[in-house]
Structures are given as structure tokens and as C-alpha cells.
Amino acid sequence: MKKGWALLAAMLLSMQVLARPLQALDDGELAGVSGGDGVSFAAHIALNDPTLSGAVTDSRLSTGFQVDGKTTYIVIRNLRGTIDVSPMNLSVQKKPDGSDYLALTLPETLRYGNWGYESLSAQADPLAPVTESLGRVNVNGALHFQGQMRFWAH
């Protein structure tokens, strides 16, 4: 029973320490903060996935352009698919001269699954049936990357 009370007391004490209000840091204090290995993130993006129940079967993305008083719309019909982005890392690194730079590692893999659109058209009414398509795109595959992008102040 004593262990239970000790554990509860430790939890309450740690919550009190964590609950302290945030404090602003000046430039010197901020420069001394270390984040370890940085931040990693990955993504799974699914847009209008036709394999899901209740999937939309006629989605449209359109934008209109006016030339000589006449509006023409570019309509992309049924933009859909999945993209998986393997982990990327964002961290602060040191240059040989001792100054800092921000390093963004490229994702090892970008995987596309049925990514594309059914038709691309130019028409006067964005909601009218597509009668003449300028083409379709469907991508299945993967791109592989290595390296990093580096950003620094001048």
C-alpha cells in the first residue's frame, strides 16, 4: 500500500512541475535549448479513396479564368488516391564555422497508390457533363530520395 501512495505522490508532484506556466526566453537562453534529434514526421494522405464505403463518385475541382469577358473553367474530375510519405526529420545542425542551420532530411520513399484524376477539361460550365477530356492521370509506384535540404540565415 505504501508503494501505491508513493507512486501517487510522485505523479502529483510531476504534474505540478509540468503545470508551470510558460516563460519567454531571451535569445541567449533560447540558443542554449537543445531538442535532441529534432522532430520526425510521416504522412498517409488519402483523397477520395474509391475503396472506402460511401466514396464520392463525382468530385470536381475547378477554377475559372476570364478572357475577353468570357469565363472558361478548368475542371479536374475525381481527383483521388493515396500518398505515403516515409519519415522526414527536421533538426538544427552546426556548420563548420559554428553557426546553426536547419536540416530537413528528404523522405526515403514517396509511395503513390492510384493517385491521379479521371479527366481534365476546359468548359464554360463547371458543373456540366465532361464531353471532351484533355487526358487522365493515374500513378502507382514509388519515388526514392536521399539527402537533406539545408536552410540558414544570411
Domain boundaries, the chain: 36-151
Distance CA 20, CA 2 (A): 28
3-state helix vs strand vs coil in the chain, percent to 5: 15, 45, 40
User: pTM score, two decimals?
Assistant: 0.62
Taking a C-beta distance cutoff of 8 angstroms, is the pair 60, 76 a contact?
yes
- Cβ neighbours around 77 below 10 Å, total: 19
Distance CA 13, CA 8 (A): 9
Distance CA 23, CA 48 (A): 44
**Which distant-in-sequence residues (6+ apart) come within 8 Å of 82 by Cβ?**
44, 45, 46, 47, 49, 111, 112, 113, 114, 115
The DSSP output letter for 69 is T
Strand 100-105, strand 148-151: pairing: antiparallel
| pLDDT tens, per residue, the chain with 154 residues | 555 566 656 665 555 555 567 778 787 777 777 666 778 889 999 888 777 777 777 889 999 999 899 999 999 999 998 999 999 988 888 888 888 888 899 999 999 998 999 999 999 999 998 888 999 999 999 999 999 998 887 7
